[in-house]
Amino acid sequence: MAVGRALASAAVPVYGFDSDPLEIGHFSSSFSRSPSQPSRQRDDTLLDSLRQLARAGAGPPALFPAGDDQIEWVARNYEALAPHFRLQGCARPDVAKRFVDKRSFYSWMQETEAETPRTCFPESEADLQASASDLRFPVILKPARGHAWRRHLRGAKVIEVADAAALFSVYREQARFDPAMVVQEVIPGPERDIAVAACAAAEDGTVLGVFTARKSRQYPYLYGSASYCVSEWLPDVADLSLDLLARLGFRGLCGTEYKKDPRTGRWVLIEINPRPTLWFDLSRASGVNLVESVYRDLVGLPRRPFPRQRDGVVWRYLARDWVACLKAWRRGDPDAPGLGAALRWPDTEAICSAREPLSCLIYPFYLVAHAARHLFGG
C-alpha cells in the first residue's frame, strides 16, 4: 500500500501481485486492476505473469518487493528477472540473504562495529549454555528468518524470557522447529524511544533522501511492526543510518530502526529492512516521497530537489494500534494513550483512505481473515 500510494501520487502506473485473494492491495485504487489479480507465488506462474507485464510496457519497469517472503523470491529468481526489470542493488541474492537471515545480519553488523544489542547465535543447547553468561536479561528469542515463526506463534515475531531457566525451556521448545536462533538482550525503555529512518540510495551511491520518525507504538505489543508513528526530524538517527548504509555499500530503499539505550544515552541499531514497509506512507504524507525517488533513479528519470520533511504528521494502522492500546492499558503501561488519543483519526492510515473506498469496504473482511490465521495458525 505504501509503494502504491507513493507512485500513484506521482502519476506512475502501479501493478501489484500477491497470492492472497483478500490482500488489501488488490482492492486499492492506487493499483492498476488487470494484472493485479491474485497469482500463486510459484516461480513459473509468477515469473510468467511478471514477464508478460514487462513486455507490455514501453521499457523495463521497476520491481519493489514488499515483504521478506518477496525479497527471498526476487533474490532466488534474480537472474530470470534482471533482463526484464529494473532491480535495486539490495535485491541481489548475496545482499538480500544477509538482510533477511537475522543471524547473518547481526553477524554482519558486528563486523562493521555497528552498535547493536548483545546477541548470540546458538545452534544447539550447548551453544546457548556457552554464551548465556554474556547476556543481560530479559532477552528475546527469534528465528534466523524473521517470518519463519509467523504461523506457529500466531503472528508474534519474538519470545521474551526473563531469566536463564526460562531461556533454556523456551529454546528447547522452539528448537523443534529450528535450533538455529538469534538470542538478544532487550534494550530497556518505552516505545517512544524507538526511532525509524527511511533511506534511499541511488545505484551510483548518491543519497537520494532520508526521513525520520518516532515509532511510538507497535503490534504485536512491544515487539512488532509499527502501529503508530509520528514524523520528527532526528538528525543523529539520520546520520547514523546514512553512515552505516554507506559503509555497507547499500543501494536502494530501506528502513532502519534504532532505540535509545537509557543506560548509555546512545542509539542502538535494532534492524534494517531492505524494503519499504507500511509506515513508509508516512514519509509520503510528510512531503518526502522516497519511493518515487528510487523509482526515478531506477528507470533513468532526472532527480528532483529533495524537500524538507513536515514534522508532527501522524500515521496509524488503526486496527493494530487499538489492540496495542488495549495491551498497554491491561499492563498498566504509564505511556499508554488516553481514550481520546486512542480514538484520534491519523493524518494517514495504513489501509483506509477516502481516495480508496473499495479498500475501506474490504478492510473488515481482511482483518477477520488475518485474525483467523493468527488464531488458528492458518
What does the pLDDT look like over 141-159, one tens digit per residue?
988 775 556 666 666 778 9
pLDDT at 137 over 50: yes
Indicate the pLDDT class of residue 36, thresholds 50, 70 and 90. Answer: very low
pLDDT at 35 over 60: no
Q: 63 and 86 in contact (C-beta within 8 Å)? A: yes
The whole-number pLDDT of residue 177 equals 84
Q: 272 and 252 in contact (C-beta within 8 Å)? A: no
The whole-number pLDDT of residue 150 equals 62
The whole-number pLDDT of residue 132 equals 83
Residues 6+ apart with CB under 8 A from 284: 2, 5, 6, 9, 290, 291, 348
More confident of the two residues 178 and 210: 210
- Separation between Cα atoms, residue 77 and residue 343, nearest integer Å: 44
Q: 208 and 303 in contact (C-beta within 8 Å)? A: yes
pLDDT at 57 over 60: yes
pLDDT at 108 over 80: yes
pLDDT at 34 over 60: no
Alpha helical stretches, state H, the chain: 2-8, 43-56, 68-76, 78-81, 93-100, 102-111, 125-131, 164-174, 235-248, 281-285, 290-299, 318-330, 339-343, 357-376
**Average of per-residue pLDDT values in the chain:** 90
Residue keyed to cell 502501479:
14
Delimit the domains of the chain by residue range.
2-98, 118-185
Residues 6+ apart with CB under 8 A from 132: 120, 164, 167, 168
The whole-number pLDDT of residue 222 equals 85
The pLDDT of 177-206, averaged and rounded, is: 94
The pLDDT of 77-102, averaged and rounded, is: 94
The whole-number pLDDT of residue 315 equals 98
More confident of the two residues 261 and 37: 261
Distances 358 to 34, 272, 309, 353 between C-alpha atoms, Å: 16, 33, 30, 9
Indicate the pLDDT class of residue 111, thresholds 50, 70 and 90. Answer: very high
More confident of the two residues 166 and 21: 166
Indicate the pLDDT class of residue 298, thresholds 50, 70 and 90. Answer: very high
- Separation between Cα atoms, residue 10 and residue 324, nearest integer Å: 33
The whole-number pLDDT of residue 149 equals 63
Sign of the CA dihedral running 75, 78, 81, 87 = positive
The whole-number pLDDT of residue 37 equals 47
The whole-number pLDDT of residue 153 equals 66
Kindly give the interhelix angle for 68-76 and 43-56, rounded to the nearest 10 degrees: 80
Indicate the pLDDT class of residue 42, thresholds 50, 70 and 90. Answer: low
- pTM reported for the whole predicted model: 0.92
The whole-number pLDDT of residue 33 equals 59
The pLDDT of 101-120, averaged and rounded, is: 93
What does the pLDDT look like over 235-272, one tens digit per residue?
999 999 999 999 999 999 999 999 999 999 999 999 99
The pLDDT of 339-360, averaged and rounded, is: 92
Identify the CATH class of 118-185.
alpha beta
The pLDDT of 289-314, averaged and rounded, is: 95
The whole-number pLDDT of residue 155 equals 62
pLDDT at 72 over 80: yes
Indicate the pLDDT class of residue 39, thresholds 50, 70 and 90. Answer: very low
